[in-house]
Structure 1
């Protein structure tokens, strides 16, 4: 028997004359201090996306506008006058709901019930065509219920415990035709975590300043309930040759002989208006049924807003290639329109955060069933301007006089903001980073004024290619040839993801056409290659690099650094500055030098990965050519392992550093050398030699070439400077570690065991320890001979010490 108090009451007894009501996705009623949702039967069983963002947050705990939770829910009627909120976990689906296997899939995918509500009353919809269910939601939103609160991971991160009910409340609820917005204030108990205070006087790591001051942390959250389309957009199937974010799930069908993984890209729904369909089919430019609009946060400084908008509008040219004009636009936020909210899931916004973080990010929120992008809130941190300033000064000050100061003119800073805006908007359109794009630009073209100003130094704004550091002063290249821009790849990727394919029946037919687009396009223009996000061993796909040859590009980059360094005291000068600027920019310059070394290093043991379909000729995996690997070690021997004395400019270092900052340079040497001789890199050389034979660069080749550079003083028995002595000890220590290798460290649970070998290399029973031992034996002989000839005392002491270390390693029992 159902208790009497749970029985629904007549509608008028619940939603009384005191109710303040608003219709929308859910009709929202406020009756004194209670809040009610009236949910029409027409949306029962419909998929609803719930996006939770900070409206306001405690100091140090992220920023207003950032997303902190994303769930897909569904309302279902339960027994005994209850309404369930289920969380959808889309992992497996049936290809066709009418097939018998669909029932098996349903039986294997029970969605959890996140909340159960007593039905307070039943009613009728506004048009009286369907029934409605009234539930009270006051305590649900005031409480710490996971679908509408912070995730467990965030609460653990900031040491947030139980919610404090008296200090938690509903701020407001607004409802609109396809979404309902709930704003709440939640207060969590929190004890400070004992830890060493972080820089800048913030709270201890793991807790927030509010926890230390009050023992609680208060945040304001906005929940957006967004009704997903009744019929999902047709999916466009993912292809690794084009860089799109994607979702996936396992698909089952009666006609299958094996389970299939269905992976589909994230992209906006762009469709022609009904009256323009025939024009669209003929390839004429048409306006989309619904434009993609990005608003600028009114907290953004006014002088930067036009540049952010320009970065958005720059994508219009790409969408025109896909058949749509005016498809995307940036707009000022209508500040006096009370019907609009920055947290409203219907509006995409560039949110401006008052933060010292040097970054920006561009997420997208997509329908998990189809990949349709629904909205985006780009995060723009105020201090991203420092990031682009430092990049531009260190990479272009040798060729652009505007870069030679600590505060840029608004026009220059605006240009730099515009490029970052375009990059982040690209992500919200579905595009991933394309770190390989810059490798399709021949290095000498970066110095060709006519070519680079016409084509750009990389084919993709989604690359981390920053600025043209290869350009030399005598090339007279203008900013047009220095800045990143939306390029050939970006326009083509938008075509591939957004151009309509008329008259096909399903996504599988689309897939065949899209495959042919890739084949034809790459054949006619290799600059359209998607090189991935730099997470593999392909030296063509790297962050912050330029051109098809890292060694030549690095030589040009170092030439410019040598021009910039002696001028840094003048270019970084500001009134009353106590050389803080000089210290900061010197470290930025050393960091840029370190990047050049890293770009070159990745060529050694490199494996090129070029995804192809069966219709395309050539291999997917190839070792980096032997000649290029040889060129790489020669570069390192010349520009890194030979002491870079030009970086150790005492006239500059004496302005801001006690003796010791030189360690920044020696650390670049030591870290690079350790990576060069790492088990993972040597293992890749070893297996490539097994596959490709003498055409591959081998472990023996590398050890011999590295020894020539690191130990060049042994032949003539020349004095060895203090930096080289340290480097040589590092070299011997790295070799000793190779002759008695430890078992590879365990990977995190759930990752394929094969990754262990690829990344760390289990070299214990390979030829690598043998090769390392043989080189130590050679070194023992050569060092023994050099000691007798060495006239410099410090060098002789060093050699005797190293010789003893080698002897102990080779014969540990003696």
Structure 2
């Protein structure tokens, strides 16, 4: 949030930006303890009430998603700073209402919307959060079911069915609760967090179960799709959790500085914390609004999209083979199979998008003027070449494994159309005006070391028209790809 200040700059205006946060202050009698580094309770803790209309079996998981943040606030010096409570009954408090703006709540909405959201109301003059009513739509359960099944069923046997156990669904609801509560605490999406984790560590059972697959629950990293069946990784290494970045962000935003008298005096202290955080890559923040940085993407994992996506595709192949059995329910048709096949091809498409963003990519590393190094850096030519090789292998060479005849014979999807749609989306991205312009600019700036626009077209032509050099027949899938490519030129 923020405002325009007409006084600070005598020859113009200055845009003031403020973080959003709740007012957390030590009790006057505990100030000395706080200064000594002892944990103290705030004057007014952050309390979320659970909507009385919420199905009873999900209440413990929603509460846990809130309470999980308490540990993060200890980094800022507070204990019992955030908590969830069941709303009082009419008998307990006849004046209590979920619509009362004095109360924050997780509101259950019996809706077909497959989502959840964490809005809040804040004062634009100070950034102080006044209240929040988190929206928990009933059908978010379908969303997390489909994500978890498509991303982890190869490694978690519990995900191999259309109706999860209450325990598994509860764990997924807890994750959604924590993520949305994070927004109401003032945290933005951190799309770059997962890119700080080396790919192979996501397959290291001991490491990933101890650290999680992303340092931030505010990332759109969902679940660990890199883990392979032979890794024998437990759910602890598959679920997101409140991580290192989240704890640091809470400390940065909520630490109380009794020696300062106003926000301006806090700036140098916070700036020092920001500079120090750069020494730990796991504390890196990648915005959700950068269209150019391959480090900042949603639904992706690890520091190498090509490696992570290769592992992800291996798991998708396992899942696809078993999809007819895992989606089967008594006395039912094939709607489940069609939906989950669509989810699987969508996941495959995400992998293609993660890789394609490397082509013409520009890394962004936000810095203050006190920090050394450049803010912007073009993706190395070798990485872009690796991305093109991946796309040639996994997408432009027809992914025939997706053309599972027993599945396609029972659903209303056409294999040629499915493959063509996936290929067309990627070609459109690679040949967009934005991507081509960035490649031309990179060559102008970096010369021979750049991945040039001529390199791109040489790689595309060699991949998409490979049959011509080898004098091989061209099947219908490849002809369709070639037509899509030529139409785009």
Paired residues of 1:534 and 1:542 also in contact (CA < 8 A): no
Q: Distance in 1 between matches of 2:242 and 2:142?
A: 23
Q: Distance in 2 between matches of 1:606 and 1:663?
A: 29
Q: CA deviation at 1:730?
A: 1.4
> 2:193 maps to what in 1?
437
Correspondences of 1:250-265 after superposition (within 5 Å): 250-253=5-8, 256=10, 258-265=12-19
Residue 310 (1) aligns with residue 61 (2): no
C-alpha RMSD of matched pairs (Å): 1.1
Q: Distance in 1 between matches of 2:387 and 2:115?
A: 32
Corresponding residue SS for 1:350: strand
Decide which of 348, 354, 363 is 1:608's aligned counterpart: 363
Q: CA deviation at 1:506?
A: 2.6
- Listed one character per residue, the Cα deviations across residues 686-743 of structure 1 (whole Å, up to 9, x for unaligned) are 11211122221110111111111111101111111111101101111222xxxxxxxx
Q: Distance in 1 between matches of 2:210 and 2:159?
A: 22
Paired residues of 2:292 and 2:363 also in contact (CA < 8 A): yes
Corresponding residue SS for 1:265: coil
- Listed one character per residue, the Cα deviations across residues 166-216 of structure 1 (whole Å, up to 9, x for unaligned) are xxxxxxxxxxxxxxxxxxxxxxxxxxxxxxxxxxxxxxxxxxxxxxxxxxx
Decide which of 274, 281, 285 is 1:518's aligned counterpart: 274
Q: Distance in 2 between matches of 1:343 and 1:625?
A: 53
Paired residues of 1:395 and 1:469 also in contact (CA < 8 A): yes
Decide which of 404, 418, 428 is 1:674's aligned counterpart: 428
Corresponding residue SS for 1:252: coil
Structure number with the higher strand fraction is 1
Paired residues of 2:2 and 2:15 also in contact (CA < 8 A): no
Paired residues of 2:4 and 2:13 also in contact (CA < 8 A): no
Corresponding residue SS for 1:656: coil
Q: Distance in 2 between matches of 1:349 and 1:251?
A: 37
Decide which of 72, 84, 89 is 1:330's aligned counterpart: 84
> 1:362 maps to what in 2?
118
> 1:502 maps to what in 2?
258
Q: CA deviation at 1:655?
A: 1.7
Q: Distance in 2 between matches of 1:345 and 1:505?
A: 30
Range 255-264 or range 357-366, more displaced: 255-264
Decide which of 199, 213, 218 is 1:462's aligned counterpart: 218
Q: TM-score, normalised by structure 1?
A: 0.59
> 2:405 maps to what in 1?
650
> 1:408 maps to what in 2?
164
Q: Distance in 2 between matches of 1:381 and 1:515?
A: 39
> 1:290 maps to what in 2?
44
Q: Distance in 1 between matches of 2:264 and 2:159?
A: 51
Q: Distance in 2 between matches of 1:515 and 1:694?
A: 38
Q: Distance in 2 between matches of 1:694 and 1:364?
A: 50
> 2:389 maps to what in 1?
634
Q: Distance in 2 between matches of 1:536 and 1:270?
A: 35
Paired residues of 2:48 and 2:105 also in contact (CA < 8 A): yes
Structure number with the higher helix fraction is 2
**Which portions of structure 1, spanning 4 or more consecutive aligned residues, are displaced by more than 6 angstroms?**
none
Residue 577 (1) aligns with residue 332 (2): yes
Decide which of 520, 525, 535 is 2:290's aligned counterpart: 535
> 1:598 maps to what in 2?
353
Decide which of 590, 605, 618 is 2:373's aligned counterpart: 618
Q: Distance in 2 between matches of 1:671 and 1:533?
A: 21
Corresponding residue SS for 1:294: strand
Q: TM-score, normalised by structure 2?
A: 0.98
Range 258-267 or range 362-371, more displaced: 258-267
> 1:383 maps to what in 2?
139
How many residue pairs match? The answer is: 487
Corresponding residue SS for 1:520: helix
Paired residues of 1:456 and 1:485 also in contact (CA < 8 A): yes
> 1:281 maps to what in 2?
35
Corresponding residue SS for 1:599: helix
Corresponding residue SS for 1:286: coil
Corresponding residue SS for 2:83: strand
Corresponding residue SS for 2:410: helix
Paired residues of 1:247 and 1:266 also in contact (CA < 8 A): no
Corresponding residue SS for 1:378: strand
Greater Cα radius of gyration, structure 1 or 2? 1
- Listed one character per residue, the Cα deviations across residues 107-138 of structure 1 (whole Å, up to 9, x for unaligned) are xxxxxxxxxxxxxxxxxxxxxxxxxxxxxxxx
Corresponding residue SS for 2:371: coil
- Listed one character per residue, the Cα deviations across residues 579-605 of structure 1 (whole Å, up to 9, x for unaligned) are 111111111000000000000000001
Decide which of 461, 466, 469 is 1:715's aligned counterpart: 469
Q: CA deviation at 1:251?
A: 4.0
Decide which of 206, 229, 237 is 1:481's aligned counterpart: 237
Corresponding residue SS for 1:655: coil
> 1:696 maps to what in 2?
450
Decide which of 118, 137, 152 is 1:396's aligned counterpart: 152
> 2:314 maps to what in 1?
559
- Listed one character per residue, the Cα deviations across residues 493-531 of structure 1 (whole Å, up to 9, x for unaligned) are 0000000122123322211110110111221x1100010
Q: Higher RCO, 1 or 2 (CA under 8 Å, sep at least 6)?
A: 2
Unaligned runs of 5+ in 1: 1-245, 736-814
Decide which of 271, 294, 303 is 1:548's aligned counterpart: 303
Q: Distance in 1 between matches of 2:434 and 2:123?
A: 39
Decide which of 205, 209, 212 is 1:453's aligned counterpart: 209
Corresponding residue SS for 1:622: strand
